[in-house]
Amino acid sequence: MVRDTRINLCGVEMDNPVIPASGTFGYGREFTEWYDIRCLGSFSIKGTTAEPRFGNPTPRIAECASGMLNAVGLQNPGVDAVVAEELPNIKKIFGKPVIANIGGFSIDEYVACSEKLAACDNVGILEINISCPNVHGGGMGFGTQASSAAEVTKAVRKVTDKPIFIKLTPNVTDICEIAKAVEAEGADGISMINTLLGMRIDKRKRKPIITNTTGGYSGPAVFPVALAAVYRVYKAVNIPIMGMGGVSSAEDVIEMMLAGAAAVQVGAANLINPCACRDIISDLPGVMEKYGIEKLADITGGAHV
């Protein structure tokens, strides 16, 4: 029996639900040396801001048990360079719609970047990142209150008809309240979860390892936290979820979709094994057979009773 891995995400047809997460896949070029990235459902490009950003000072990576900390800080060449150079280059290596991840330090910046990126024909979905824990004066500041999250969503909704997914932080009291607020203002979907806030200390120097003091914790240890968040939000909203957080195998993809995800992003696993997404996609039909799944799209939310 042929196992059907196809999904439809807000009108964007994908061969499978596996999507490398923003910040872990660059613009795809480096990974073409390892495998044909056209096997991917899509991928989320590096977080884009209005102006070029070098990011935070180094060191900005720290290893942890079952994961890692990062405080890269939205390093990117700026929206104009992404539109003029990166997206046309992506067309040459990946003939499917990609997801444009957008960061910002003001509502006007989110709007301006969204408008420019939405005008690009190979951008299928806008992923509005209101949950980055590694920048000051923006990012997660918009995502920790329902009112500010709703305000960003409402403003971006006015400038594009393309699907908008709002990327939410787990570093809040009630993620469901924020999910419902962005849904009410026109979000087409939710991306979740972004990284957990964490830190490491250098015991010899007696100071934080990361110059930024704290960073975003990701990796396999985050998976149960992400799974619970997706499960709760699935019950709270009526829009699709791209689930992420510690996903590193085809088994994890199935579990995340049963919790409520319509598609699944893979982040830190790409930094450990550059072929992680390829291997997950290759393993999916066998895992589907193991659990008696004929059509992958049918299992979203299947763990809810």
> Which are the catalytic amino acids?
132
Tell me if residue 179 falls in helix, strand or coil.
helix
Whole-Å CA distances, 213 to 136, 201, 207? 12, 9, 8
| Phi-psi label, residue 201: left if phi above 0, alpha if psi -120 to 50, beta otherwise | beta
Question: CA 301: distance to chain centroid?
Answer: 19
Q: What is the DSSP string of 91-121?
A: HHH--S-EEEEE--SSHHHHHHHHHHHHTST
Nearest to 298 by CA among 40, 7, 9: 7
Whole-Å CA distances, 28 to 4, 24, 64, 91, 116? 25, 9, 26, 10, 20
> Distance (Å, rounded) from C-alpha 110 to C-alpha 88?
22
Token pair listed for 300? 């979203």
The vertex-162 CA angle with 159 and 165, nearest 5°, equals: 95
Query: Is 243 buried (19+), middle (13-18) or exposed (0-12) by CB count in 10 A?
Result: buried
Extended beta strands in the chain, E state:
7-9, 12-14, 18-20, 61-64, 67-70, 98-102, 123-129, 164-167, 189-192, 196-198, 201-202, 207-208, 215-218, 241-243, 263-266
